């Protein structure tokens, strides 16, 4: 048994964990904790050199592999190069930012990386996965107004904060529909979502001129944010605790912004099963990647 900031991790020797965005922030903290418990941790990162630097600072068995969630070719190459079981897939990587940018495939970057990249990766790796899939979401989903007629902001005036909220909302809908499909297929794999709370990581740091809202965020982060190690706790809890499938975990205190991990609630729209299925269908169309497991009951 390994204890990481109050969360007890079981002995994980002989298991393999894949962590996206593992070269910094929450991903690096999760990787360090899992490796300390004995897991072989694969740091799936866009920047190989930064990934190697992170891996060298982690005690345990690690491997660094290139994965750019902003390019479906890279996602496909990562999955095609995989051989062997995956006990834990941690969909952690994410982006924010004040301006509209697009992925190599033309997707709005927050939706494309935070959701579509992980959607494709998960489904492509699913034949190898034996344990749990944890997707890092956020309570920002409560402010979402996802428009599935224009998910990539091609026809609407761009709103960066709403785009981020929508992507985090998509993470929860994806987790719910993934869990439903796994259950229908008779799989024992569990899908969970985790909210790390308010964490002082690079996702809130942006180049360019500072806006008034940036100053507000800087003050809030300085006063209220926890560090990445504590932000990792809900992710680790979702990875090892005995909790029902499709659980949402987050910090216990300060409106789920800080503290020890527990099960938390999600918004009513995030419990909309029809919307979750609609998002799944749109995601399949955009990525060209579908659910690979047979389902005896089919879809709805």
What is the rounded distance in angstroms from the CA atom of residue 122 to the CA atom of residue 296? 21
158, 164, 204, 237: which is the annotated catalytic residue?
Answer: 164
Query: Phi/psi of residue 68, each to 5°?
Result: -110, 105
The answer to whether 237 is a known catalytic residue is: no
Radius of gyration of the chain (CA): 18
101 in Cβ contact with 109 (< 8 Å) = yes
What Å distances lie between residue 21 and 16, 91, 136, CA to CA? Answer: 16, 8, 11
SS (H, E, C) 77-133: HHHHCCCCCEEEEEECCCCCCCCCCECCCCCEHHHHHHHHHHHHHHHHHHHHEEEEE
Give the whole-angstrom CA distance, residue 147 versus residue 133: 26
- Residue numbers annotated as active site: 164
């Amino acid at each position: 048994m390994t204890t990481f900031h109050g969360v007890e991790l079981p002995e994980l020797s002989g298991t393999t964990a894949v962590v996206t965005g593992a070269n910094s922030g929450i991903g690096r903290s999760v990787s360090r904790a899992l490796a300390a418990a004995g897991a072989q941790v694969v740091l799936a990162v866009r920047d190989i050199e930064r990934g190697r630097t992170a891996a060298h600072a982690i005690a345990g068995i690690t491997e660094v592999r290139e994965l750019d969630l902003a390019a479906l070719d890279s996602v496909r190459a990562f999955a095609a190069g995989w051989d062997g079981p995956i006990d834990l897939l941690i969909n952690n990587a994410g982006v924010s930012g004040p301006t509209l940018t697009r992925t190599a495939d033309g997707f709005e970057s927050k939706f494309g990386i935070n959701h579509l990249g992980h959607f494709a990766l998960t489904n492509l790796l699913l034949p190898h996965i034996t344990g749990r899939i944890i997707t890092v979401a956020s309570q920002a989903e409560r402010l979402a107004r996802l428009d599935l007629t224009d998910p990539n902001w091609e026809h609407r005036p761009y709103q960066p904060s709403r785009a981020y909220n929508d992507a985090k909302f998509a993470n929860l809908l994806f987790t719910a529909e993934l869990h439903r499909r796994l259950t229908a297929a008779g799989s024992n794999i569990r899908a969970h979502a985790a909210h790390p709370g308010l964490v002082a990581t690079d996702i809130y740091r942006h180049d360019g001129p500072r806006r008034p809202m940036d100053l507000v965020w800087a003050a809030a982060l300085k006063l209220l944010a926890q560090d990445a190690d504590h932000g990792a706790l809900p992710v680790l809890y979702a990875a090892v605790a005995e909790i029902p499938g499709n659980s949402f975990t987050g910090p216990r205190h300060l409106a789920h912004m800080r503290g020890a991990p527990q099960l938390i609630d999600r918004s009513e729209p995030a419990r909309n099963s029809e919307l979750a299925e609609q998002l799944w269908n749109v995601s399949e169309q955009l990525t060209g990647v579908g659910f690979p497991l047979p389902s005896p009951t089919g879809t709805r």
